[in-house]
Amino acid sequence: QILSKLRMKEAPNISRDIVKQLLPKAPPLQQLLDQYDVLGDDNKDVVMEEDDEHAITETIMMMATEPESIVQVDGEPKCCFFSFTQKFQASRVLRAQLWVHLRQSDEATTVFLQISRLMPVAEGSRHIRIRSLKIDVSAGVSSWQSIDVKQVLTVWLRQPETNWGIEINAFDSRGNDLAVTSAEPGEEGLLPFMEAKISEAPKRARRDSGLDCDENSPESRCCRYPLTVDFEDFGWDWI
């Protein structure tokens, strides 16, 4: 039944290790993975804060995909389009960060991280610069950098027709682009990705508080009972 709801014929043959390789290696996601690995390893010493279940925010992470051909010239740029499969109101966006991985430079240098809005080629100017950031980097050090894109995301949510994607460049003093925007060998999981902090939608009032029961409840009406499913118990460690 679960596979049917996921529109899958069978469970994918994929391990947790492979999933970790495919996911972005950016700091916020690593923190989440570390947190849930600790909680999932039968570590009884870990106590969840009571407020954790009633958080007033949620974090949404969006992976970069290739923009439509209408904004490309000779197949470029290959990055980055962010689609919003989960619908939420612009007013609920508390914070939005674009994470970009910079390749290491041979020398200490200043990098200019630039984000430009993509437009259909037929409409003239393809590049409208919307954000820029100056970053000092050390020689031989690769790094994740984040840049505030709350305003960009808000516009996209209010005017979805303007979202054709963005182009990301990070030029050093010699004009080399250090931004990882396509997955070269060894750079898996280093593609740009967007992290948005969203305020919780107002909860609807529950009509009948008697609908939640446990095994000791004398309730005779149709009732919700707690059900804990350990997917790893039956081999679904890909969840």
Q: Mind listing the pLDDT tens digit for each residue in 168-212? A: 999 998 999 999 998 778 777 889 999 999 988 665 555 555 578
Helix (H, G, I), strand (E, B) or coil at 164: coil
The pair phi, psi for residue 160, each rounded to 5°, is -55, -25
Once rounded to an integer, what is the mean pLDDT over residues 10-38? 72
pLDDT reported for residue 203: 59
- Name the band, by pLDDT with cuts 50, 70 and 90, for residue 54: very low
For residue 156, give the nearest of 230, 98, 104, 211 by alpha carbon.
98
CA-CA distance, 61 to 24, in Å (whole number)? 10
Tokens, residue 40: 């999932």
What's the whole-model pTM score?
Answer: 0.68
Sign of CA dihedral 89, 90, 94, 100: positive
Tell me, what DSSP letter sits at residue 26?
-
Pick 1-37+52-200's CATH classification: 3.30.160, 2.60.120, 3.40.50, 1.10.10.
2.60.120
Is the per-residue pLDDT at 46 higher than 50?
Answer: no
User: Is 84:62 a contact under the CB 8 Å cutoff?
Assistant: yes
pLDDT reported for residue 123: 62
Residue ranges of domains in the chain:
1-37+52-200
130 CB neighbour count, 10 Å cutoff: 14
Is the per-residue pLDDT at 109 higher than 80?
Answer: yes
pLDDT reported for residue 100: 94
Share of the chain above pLDDT 90, in %: 31
